């Protein structure tokens, strides 16, 4: 919008004393924009309504090598960011983790059980239930698994329990914010 079009709208306020809020409703120009125009008009007159050229036009604020992003995450991550074009245009590379296979999940769980001073026995009914619950909750997502175990440890400590059961895992899960895909 040029200065003449801005003045046609702003003149109604300056000369005819039409409130800016009413002008905003009737002209589909934001109230804050009208307030800015009015302040510039009071400071510099009609010249204040001219479009000022930007000092940073045609230049980036950050060097291009600092703008590119690398996304690392679960499948579907890149698609979620595609809905934000200004952000997505800066993605240089997207790597999707695949969900853990059953043997990988067991390996990670054995390490976690050991860190809690326990032994994981997949043939034991209670441990098998716990493994199934963790697999169902995390769907093989390593990051969720890493977030779940401190909560499991917390539930065990608070309740003075020794065994990781399905109920302990459900209680730990209820304290986490896990989105639905």
| Tens-level pLDDT at each residue, the chain (181 residues) | 888 989 999 999 999 999 999 989 988 889 999 999 999 999 888 888 888 766 666 665 655 555 556 666 666 666 777 777 766 666 666 666 778 889 998 999 999 888 888 888 888 898 889 889 989 888 888 888 888 888 988 998 999 988 888 888 888 888 876 654 4
Backbone angles phi, psi at 71, to 5 degrees: -105, 130
The pTM of the whole model exceeds 0.75: no
Q: How far is Cα of residue 34 from the mean position of the Cα atoms in its chain?
A: 33
Closest CA to 10 of 18, 28, 2, 143: 18
Closest CA to 147 of 116, 178, 101: 178
- Residue 144 confidence (pLDDT): 85
């Amino acid at each position: 919008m040029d200065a003449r079009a801005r003045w046609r709208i702003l003149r109604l306020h300056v000369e005819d004393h039409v409130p800016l809020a009413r002008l905003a409703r009737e002209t589909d120009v934001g109230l804050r924009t009208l307030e800015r125009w009015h302040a510039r008009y009071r400071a510099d007159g009609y010249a204040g309504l001219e479009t000022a050229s930007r000092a940073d036009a045609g230049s980036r604020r950050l060097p291009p090598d600092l703008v590119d992003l690398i996304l690392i995450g679960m499948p579907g991550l890149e698609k979620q960011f595609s809905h934000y074009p200004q952000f997505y245009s800066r993605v240089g590379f997207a790597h999707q983790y695949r969900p853990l296979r059953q043997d990988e999940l067991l390996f990670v769980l054995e390490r976690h059980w050991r860190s809690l001073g326990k032994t994981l026995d997949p043939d034991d009914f209670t441990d098998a239930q716990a493994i199934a619950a963790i697999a169902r909750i995390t769907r093989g997502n390593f990051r969720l698994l890493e977030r779940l175990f401190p909560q499991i440890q917390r539930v065990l400590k608070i309740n003075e329990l020794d065994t990781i059961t399905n109920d302990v895992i459900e209680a730990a899960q209820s304290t986490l914010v896990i989105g639905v895909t």
